Amino acid sequence: MSIHQLAVESASDHRPLIITLFSVFVAATLGITVWAGRQTKDATDFYAGGRSFSGFQNGLAISGDYMSAASFLGIAGAIALTGYDGFLYSIGFLVAWLVALLLVAEPLRNTGRYTMGDVLAYRMRQRPVRTAAGVSTIVVSIFYLLAQMAGAGVLVSLLLGITNEAGKILIVVLVGVVMILYVSIGGMKGTTWVQMVKAVMLIAGALLMTFLVLLKFDFNVSELLGEAAKNSKMGHAFLEPGLKYGATGTTKLDFISLGLALVLGTAGLPHILIRFYTVPTAKAARKSVNWAIGIIGVFYLMTIALGFGAAALLDKKTITDSNPAGNTAAPLLADELGGPVLLAVISAVAFATILAVVAGLTLASSSSFAHDLYANVIRKGEATQEEEIKAARWATVGIGIVAIVLGVFARDLNVAGLVALAFAVAASANLPTILYSLFWKRFTTQGALWSIYGGLASSVFLVLFSPVVSGNPKSSMFKDVDFHWFPLENPGLISIPLGFLLGWVGSLLSKEKPDNAKYAELEVRSLTGYGAH
């Protein structure tokens, strides 16, 4: 009998404990949500939590928003199965924060109100650019949601031993419903508090597991790595780059593509960007990024212990039998370290992780739908605050349903790989426009539209014809068909430079002159904070 079956069985024995922990978390966070909902009176409360959070609180919430199922389940699994190559995720996800800190967080806080579209459309013709920003926000968030729902699905089927399709669908529906409640009732205030609670839980859980792993090896990291290498049966290759990406010239290109997407994606993720609006000033936004870098950095350092710990202490077959992409390595490791009680606790943490991130993503997409598409494009700025918030609440329900439907697919994809696709789309469609808007005088509406739609279309198109969607009988979304011709799993290598290039060419070829007065306004406000909302 494999450990996986043991885990499922012991988990089944402790099903009451697991269900109690899940219920306590859901009940507590829903309580917070209702409390936050009572305090949500106007649009600034709903979209930006009244801009009342401190730098530290927001830093914690950013960490809770950012450390997703990909960071916890995905990276641990990727390292457990492919050794050193999985570690790239940790590094890229962290270094990326410097782009946000140095170039984006403060100017964005100074010039926008509620959404990424506020800044993208600032100097431009409002309706076309807001439409583009709204579409890209929703597409990026849905890619990201897909990864979280995949994580939720595998986690719950591992824990509750649910193997039939109906049971899994039921769980995904439950996650969707809780998330809709968080966002539609609590708005940004509720979501922020849920993310803070989750960040504390995740850090505590990871610290505990890291401690237990290191304890097994007398706090000797070298010994841990040695045992991981030995147990993986791949020897030192396990600790060296190239196990996953070193096979051929194509996989090496894929590694560069992934690396590029990770480092440039963060500062273009709408659900991260809107977090900067929840603090009163640009200085507080800077402080919150610094806190986030500290918290996230420590967490990613711990993924080394979690991933190599899983490789050292678990049989590889156990991990892949449970989930081919390794997504359950962290909970299986918890079971190995502390038995079913720790398994239940860590699973509750993972569940909290997923719920908090999913809430942030849903909020970003429904805010953008209501503020960019509904209020500014459809109603041309004539909608009242009440109408706008109402639209946001309905959009939440809509996005929730989309997430539920998508969550039923894509269970066998590594969630870190899936999230990397969201990063690639964000880096291709959003980052060029954000940077050009803030720093390049000659950027025009046409440049913005070419860059957003070009980056978006090329990245999504390439993913569609990549091995992620079809052609790989083991890991593709559709296993039985093969219509792939693009060899890389991550499109970033092509689509990110293309997004930047299109923004530049589109601006130079544009008949319309850049709006110098508007650029003066944006530049002065972005650097001084004058007139910030």
Partner 1 sequence: MDTAPASDRPGDQRQQEHPPYAEVQASAEFGELRRAHRSFAFPLTIAFVSWYLLYVLLSNYAGGFMDTKVAGNINVALVFGLGQFLTTFLIAWWYSRHAAAKLDPRSAAIKSSMGSDA
Contact positions toward partner 1, by CB under 8 A?
84, 87-88, 90-92, 94-95, 97-99, 101-103, 106, 220-223, 225-226, 229, 236, 239-242, 245-246, 252, 255-256, 259-260, 263, 283, 286, 289-290, 293-294, 297, 300-301, 439, 516-517, 520-521, 523-525, 527-532
E strand spans, 434-489: none
Asked if residue 322 lies in contact with residue 330, where contact means CB atoms within 8 angstroms, the answer is: no
CA 506 from chain center: how many Å?
30
**Counting beta carbons within 10 angstroms of the beta carbon of residue 373, is it exposed (0 to 12), middle (13 to 18) or buried (19 or more)?**
buried
Distance in Å, CB of 263 to partner 1, minimum: 6
Which of residues 190 and 226 has its CB atom nearest to partner 1 in the complex?
Answer: 226
Three-state secondary structure of 166-197? HHHHHHHHHHHHHHHHHHHHHHHHHHHHHHHH
Which of residues 86 and 503 has its CB atom nearest to partner 1 in the complex?
Answer: 86
Which of residues 170 and 221 has its CB atom nearest to partner 1 in the complex?
Answer: 221
Distance in Å, CB of 269 to partner 1, minimum: 17
Which of residues 149 and 293 has its CB atom nearest to partner 1 in the complex?
Answer: 293
Distance in Å, CB of 244 to partner 1, minimum: 11
Which of residues 285 and 370 has its CB atom nearest to partner 1 in the complex?
Answer: 285
Which of residues 316 and 525 has its CB atom nearest to partner 1 in the complex?
Answer: 525
Distance in Å, CB of 261 to partner 1, minimum: 11
Spatial distance between the Cα atoms of 186 and 268, rounded to a whole number of angstroms = 25
Asked if residue 385 lies in contact with residue 42, where contact means CB atoms within 8 angstroms, the answer is: yes
Which of residues 476 and 526 has its CB atom nearest to partner 1 in the complex?
Answer: 526
Which of residues 2 and 248 has its CB atom nearest to partner 1 in the complex?
Answer: 248
> Please, how many CA atoms are within 13 Å of residue 507, restricted to the half-sphere of its CB?
22
Q: Which two tokens stand for residue 399?
A: 């996005």
- Enumerate long-range contacts of 321-324, CB under 8 Å, 24 or more apart: 321/2, 321/4, 322/4, 322/7, 322/158, 323/77, 323/154, 323/158, 323/411, 323/412, 324/412, 324/474, 324/475
Q: Give the single-character DSSP code of 512.
A: S
Which of residues 160 and 292 has its CB atom nearest to partner 1 in the complex?
Answer: 292
Distance in Å, CB of 124 to partner 1, minimum: 17
DSSP string of 267-280, one letter each residue: GG-HHHHGGGGGSS
Spatial distance between the Cα atoms of 315 and 79, rounded to a whole number of angstroms = 14
Reduce the DSSP state of residue 48 to 3 states and report it.
Answer: helix
Distance in Å, CB of 517 to partner 1, minimum: 6
Distance in Å, CB of 122 to partner 1, minimum: 12
Q: Which two tokens stand for residue 164?
A: 């039939």
Distance in Å, CB of 403 to partner 1, minimum: 32
Asked if residue 526 lies in contact with residue 276, where contact means CB atoms within 8 angstroms, the answer is: no
Distance in Å, CB of 513 to partner 1, minimum: 15
In terms of Cα–Cα distance, which of 160, 210, 441, 89 is closest to 328?
Answer: 160
Spatial distance between the Cα atoms of 438 and 355, rounded to a whole number of angstroms = 33
Q: Which two tokens stand for residue 67?
A: 């450390």
Write the CA distances from 167 to 8, 13, 173, 320, 397, integer angstroms.
Answer: 15, 18, 10, 22, 22
Which of residues 482 and 521 has its CB atom nearest to partner 1 in the complex?
Answer: 521
Is the C-alpha dihedral spanning 74, 77, 82, 87 positive or negative?
A: positive
Which of residues 298 and 457 has its CB atom nearest to partner 1 in the complex?
Answer: 298
Distance in Å, CB of 252 to partner 1, minimum: 5
Distance in Å, CB of 287 to partner 1, minimum: 8
**Counting beta carbons within 10 angstroms of the beta carbon of residue 60, is it exposed (0 to 12), middle (13 to 18) or buried (19 or more)?**
buried
Which of residues 127 and 244 has its CB atom nearest to partner 1 in the complex?
Answer: 244
Which of residues 53 and 519 has its CB atom nearest to partner 1 in the complex?
Answer: 519
Distance in Å, CB of 396 to partner 1, minimum: 32
Spatial distance between the Cα atoms of 43 and 424, rounded to a whole number of angstroms = 31
Distance in Å, CB of 229 to partner 1, minimum: 7
